[in-house]
Structure 1
Amino acid sequence: MCHVLIIEDDALIALDLQGMLEAAGALSFSFADSEAEAIAEARARRPDVIASDVMLREGSGPGAVQAIHAEYGPLPVFYVTGTPEACQPCEPPVHIVPKPATQEAIRAAFTQVRGGC
């Protein structure tokens, strides 16, 4: 089973990402629109992959990813963002898909990071 945590503060974009990731093979999803909510969702169900925006309503995607990695160790992650230059800290190797994201770009990023998921 491939469970994806989508960290995105725009609900329509989050649902669009869900559809793209389902088409790419993801099977279940959790959603968060803030750094604190992302950490809580990861604690509730450990994700196999994280798809995250950079700038959030509260906090940041990289901050959430860093906190989740501190608890669970490295998990596959890719960023979908309109502000790739703001992806700090984003430790390599990092996959950044610029918004507006295409189905092909999301599929490619997901395929690159998903591992055995």
Structure 2
Amino acid sequence: MCHVLTIEDEPLVAMTIQDILASEGATSFEIVDTEEAAVSAAAAHAPSVITSDVKLLEGTGPRAVAEIHRRLGPIPVIFITGTPEECSPCNPPGLIIPKPFTVQAIIAAFRESAPSN
């Protein structure tokens, strides 16, 4: 079972990521668009993997991920962003995929990050 928390403020991008990861075996998803919602969602259902944009409607993905890690411990993260230069280095570190992304890039990052069943 692999629960993915997607922190993304563009609904079509979030749904595309969800579709790609579902085809790779992710079994449940939560999509949020703010830093606060991301932290709350992770507290309610700890994710196996996090995908995160950098800029959000409110707050940032890297700050949300850092707070989730502080509360829950290390969780693999894939940053998918149109502003990769603002995520270098992200703390905690994760894989960084620039937008526009390819399906192959998302699949490769997920395969590298997702916990083995």
TM-score, normalization by structure 1: 0.95
Aligned-residue offset at 1:93:
4.4
Q: Deviations over 1:21-71 (max 9, x none)?
A: 111211100111000000010011000000000111100000000000000
CA distance in 2, matches of 1:26, 1:97: 19
Between the two proteins, the alignment pairs up a number of residues equal to 117
Please tell me the root mean square deviation across aligned C-alpha atoms, in Å: 1.3
Q: Which consecutive unaligned segments of at least 5 residues does structure 1 have?
A: none
CA distance in 2, matches of 1:57, 1:89: 21
TM-score, normalization by structure 2: 0.95
Match of 2:28 in 1: 28
CA distance in 1, matches of 2:106, 2:32: 18
> Does the 8 Å CA contact 1:62/1:88 hold for their aligned counterparts?
no
Match runs of 1:35-114 below 5 Å:
35-87=35-87, 90-91=90-91, 93-114=93-114
Aligned-residue offset at 1:90:
0.9
- Secondary structure of the residue aligned to 1:78 is strand
Change in CA separation of 1:116 and 1:70 when aligned onto 2, cut-off 3 Å: same
Q: Which consecutive unaligned segments of at least 5 residues does structure 2 have?
A: none
Identity %: 51
Aligned-residue offset at 1:91:
3.1
Aligned-residue offset at 1:100:
1.1
| Structure 1 stretches of 4+ moved >4 Å | none
CA distance in 1, matches of 2:71, 2:108: 27
Instruction: Name the aligned partner's letter for residue 61 of structure 2.
Output: G
> Does the 8 Å CA contact 1:62/1:89 hold for their aligned counterparts?
no
